[in-house]
Amino acid sequence: MAKTRYNIIIPISTCLLIHMVFWSRQMTSTNPRHSETLRTSITVYSPSKHNSTVAVCLLIRNETLYIDLYIDEWMDYHIALGFAPIYVYDNTATDDLDLHLWYNTRKDIQEYVKLIHFPQAPAQIAAYKQCLFHDAANETFASITDIDEFVVLKKHDNVVDFMEEHCNEQCGQISLNWNMMTVSNQTKYRPVPTLIRNIHSNGVWGTIKVIVRPSYVDNKIFDWAHSLRLKKGHWVDTSGKVIERPNNWKKQANDDCPTDVALLYHYRFRSKEEFYYKNCVRGDVLQPRGSTPKCTREVARKGMYGGELDSLAWEKLMKMVPKYTIFENNTNATIKWLYPKFPYKYQ
């Protein structure tokens, strides 16, 4: 007798429910370190008395493999430092379900963070235009940064206070130099915060990123190369020096490398395994969707190893967001919210 075959169709709503239940169970681990403690609400550590705002233009693609590690940590850090609103441009081809689920669970950040689906590819220039000329057009300042970069202020507890002191009405943008953080002997991914895993610096590089006044950006000739072409105002560094670029707005370096006020800690590598995934599997927003990732470039590995101890960013995180101190007191503490193992094997 022939066996009857049945085609079972599960409605999308049911799939979503199953996914949300899975998420919920991961988020309610029996170990309080994994859920209740690290899911406590985030607030601005030292509110500013100024009325200015410092927005963020953040473009991401396929970051959901690290939601519990990278996005939570990055958001907690920068919200506590006073950045808001934070415009997150999701550059996946279709809405990133995991990203939206993460956003829905973080009720505490929704007054600070705006999630926008932005499928265009290549995406970088288009997303930055959308941010500077539309979404953040009425903000006082806007930082153009990436999920692997952390603004570290050495003399201020709030980024608004820093900008008010160092970028007056004649200042159109201020640049922060990269402090390149190495792998700190990390071969494989570990489910602990980046800022405690990578605590060695290869030194301060000439490469910069900027915090800009959106209203000063040239909307006729849009040049982006870590700095922006301005229609008014000056480009200054954190020492107050005016950087003259009359004919070369695509310059992306300040070789004076001032370090005493603020730096941009750049966690390009994290570990060999994660660097491999980022460069050889995922690809980046600079390339057309589906293009072959460039994973063999030696220049991309520059600054990957060695370095001097530099845990300042980690110390800042623990000060501003005390829930992260659990990792300082217990080196075996891990986050197990969603992805307990890294999904790609390092070759």
What's the pLDDT tens digit per position in 218-270? 999 887 778 899 999 999 999 999 998 756 555 688 999 999 999 999 998 88
CA 182 remoteness from chain centre = 17
Q: Which domains, and CATH codes, for the chain?
A: 54-330 (3.90.550)
Q: Which of 150, 159, 158 is nearest to 180 (CA)?
A: 150
Rounded Cα distance, 211 and 214, in Å: 9
Q: Model's pTM, two decimal places?
A: 0.82
The strand ranges marked E within the chain are 54-60, 86-90, 113-117, 141-145, 149-153, 171-181, 200-212, 234-237, 262-266, 308-309
- Which amino acid belongs to residue 160? V
Instruction: Tell me what pLDDT residue 239 has.
Output: 96
What's the pLDDT tens digit per position in 301-346? 777 788 899 999 999 999 999 999 988 766 555 444 333 344 444 4
Q: Which of 288, 47, 317 is nearest to 160 (CA)?
A: 47
What's the pLDDT tens digit per position in 190-227? 888 999 999 999 999 999 999 999 999 999 988 777 88
